[in-house]
Amino acid sequence: MNVNIKKVSRCFIYLISLFFISLGASLSIKANLGTSPLICIPYVSSLISNLSVGTTSFIFNILLIAIEIILLRKGFEKRQYLQIVIGTIFSVFIDFTLMLVNFINPTDYVSQMIFLLASCVVMAFGVLLEIKTEVVFLPGDGFIVAISKVLKREFGKVKPYCDVSFVITAAILSFVFLGYLAGVREGTVISAIIIGPIVRVFKKYLGDYVDLIIEK
């Protein structure tokens, strides 16, 4: 029974992590200084297609999972098929949190920067919970893990290149289909640079408390 309770607790905290990551992504969208690499392609695709960001995020996640399967073949763990479920929940959370923060419309640069930094903090906290629960990869992370396995390189060394490729792809799509640069600005660079260090700070000061909650 205790084992089942722990599993339920771990999964519940993982869902909370998805909520915080999606909330951080939504705040970065509302800050309007460029979205994080995680959401830049779905955001630009949303502007192009007039679909919701959640819908384009779902399509993008399915594409990433398909690439993972092609790259890893038999090396793709069966439990990672849960990424499809996780990607769906995350996509729903994106649209839900965008609705929650719909009232936020910063009109000056200082306010925009405050909300951008807040988005980084919120997303970093969500990433901490995601890492600690170790349930299943988000499709974006799963994709990077697959690339790192194929190239036989560490995740941390591969991630910056994947992030840059996401950003460049988003920039190309926006120029080709919209005629201007959308979703990629200084905020994209700031997010890519500071979220990792914030996660490490959270892990140092909050990691043990999160572990205690998970293990209860």
Candidates 194, 45, 60; CA nearest to 116 is 194
Low-confidence stretches of the chain (pLDDT < 70) are: 1-6, 216
Can you tell me the distance from the alpha carbon of 137 to that of 201, in angstroms, rounded to the nearest whole number? 21
Residue 1: what pLDDT? 45
Residue 165: what pLDDT? 92
| Distance set, CA 148 to CA 16, 135, 213 (Å) | 27, 19, 31
The backbone torsions φ and ψ at residue 207, rounded to the nearest 5 degrees and listed phi first, read -55, -45
Residue 159: what pLDDT? 84
Give 94-113 pLDDT, tens digit per residue. Answer: 999 999 999 999 989 999 99
Residue 136: what pLDDT? 82
Residue 216: what pLDDT? 64
Residue 53: what pLDDT? 96
The backbone torsions φ and ψ at residue 192, rounded to the nearest 5 degrees and listed phi first, read -65, -30
Residue 180: what pLDDT? 92
